[in-house]
Amino acid sequence: MIYSNNKLPDNNYRILTEQINSTSIDLDIKSTYEIVKLFSEADKEPQKAVENSIPEIINAIDKITSRLKLNGRLFYIGTGTSGRLGVLDASECPPTFCTNSDLVQGIIAGGVTALTKSSESLEDISELAITDLKNRNFSNRDALIGITASGRTPYVLAALDFSKSINALTISISSVPESDSTLSNDVDIRLITGPEILAGSTRLKAGTATKMALNIISTSVMIQLGKVYGNRMIDLSVSNDKLMDRAIGILFDIGSVDKKTALQLLKKTNGSVKLSLLIALTGMDVIEAKQLLNDSEGNLRTALITVKSY
């Protein structure tokens, strides 16, 4: 079946993500070396795109953090590659930062099936996005990042409009200028990566820039929520041998305890690296340390400063 759309724009005009990249005109007759070299050079552009969007990314991080501190949640929503990137980032938060699986959620048109099977037909169903958000009890306390490289995906546009209409924090990530697409949002992140090496394939540069931005946003939010000390992930979930080794290493490096003591501390604290560190650094018992962390809003550095001030 060939899809037909009578609303297609004039062929003389293409949005940025659909334009032709002049450096790859003869892509099909280039050598493997030339193709790889092209990609290598092109993949410098996502880094520039993220750098050019630093003010908007900072604004998004600060606003999301404020929502989460007030018991809000963060949602990513998208279709295709954009949706998969959001689901990937959300799914990494529980093991990396020991978050509840509800705190950061990824929604993709078509649900779990769409993670491995194409579901392009769902991109155009606006109502589905609103249903998907309502099924998660999305509210005005929450934050939404709508990801649409083209800035024109109906599913994502509907989600952004709905989020804005109920006064939830609304953030958009796209790879086109405002002249190509106007989006409903409180924060407008435009990752301008230009035409793709393979025309229209936004899983390439646009997808790379989006992945970079999501990494920065989620990690920075978790830092501000007290889940990092120095540059160590002190709220990691100790759920396998690798993560156990990492937890022991953190306790050794920061808490100056040997492996045996580290294991004893982790057993006492049900695997909490943060709580184990506080005990190792202050000599407190588990109950005292838990109370201090609660009083410090889960921030280890704040807790340690409090101890030193007495």
Q: Is 119 helix (H, G, I), strand (E, B) or coil?
A: coil
Q: Do residues 190 and 133 both lie within one domain?
A: yes
Q: pLDDT over 90 for what percent of the chain? A: 89
Q: Do residues 34 and 140 both lie within one domain?
A: yes
Q: Do residues 194 and 55 both lie within one domain?
A: yes
Burial of 66 (0-12, 13-18, 19+ CB in 10 A): middle
Q: Do residues 237 and 217 both lie within one domain?
A: no
Mean per-residue pLDDT of the chain: 93
pLDDT at 23 over 60: yes
Q: Would 90 be classed as within a structural domain?
A: yes
Which of 161, 193, 224 finishes a domain? 224
Model confidence at 308, pLDDT cuts 50, 70, 90, reads confident
pLDDT of residue 269: 94
Q: Do residues 150 and 203 both lie within one domain?
A: yes
Structure confidence by residue, pLDDT tens digits, 262-273: 999 999 999 999
Which residues carry out catalysis?
92, 123
CB 265 within 8 A of CB 257: yes
Q: Do residues 71 and 143 both lie within one domain?
A: yes
Q: Would 136 be classed as within a structural domain?
A: yes
CATH code for the domain of 263: 1.10.8.1080
Q: Which domain holds residue 294?
A: 228-309
Which of 224, 256, 291 finishes a domain? 224
pTM for the whole thing? 0.91
How many domains does one find in the chain?
2
- Cα torsion through 79, 82, 88, 93, rounded to 10: -110
Sequence length of the chain is 310
Which of 179, 208, 224 finishes a domain? 224
Q: Do residues 36 and 167 both lie within one domain?
A: yes
Q: Tell me the backbone φ, ψ of residue 218, rounded to 5 degrees.
A: -65, -40
CATH code for the domain of 59: 3.40.50.10490
Q: Do residues 164 and 258 both lie within one domain?
A: no
Alpha-carbon torsion (290, 291, 297, 299), positive or negative? negative
Q: Is 297 helix (H, G, I), strand (E, B) or coil?
A: coil
Burial of 32 (0-12, 13-18, 19+ CB in 10 A): exposed
Q: Would 48 be classed as within a structural domain?
A: yes
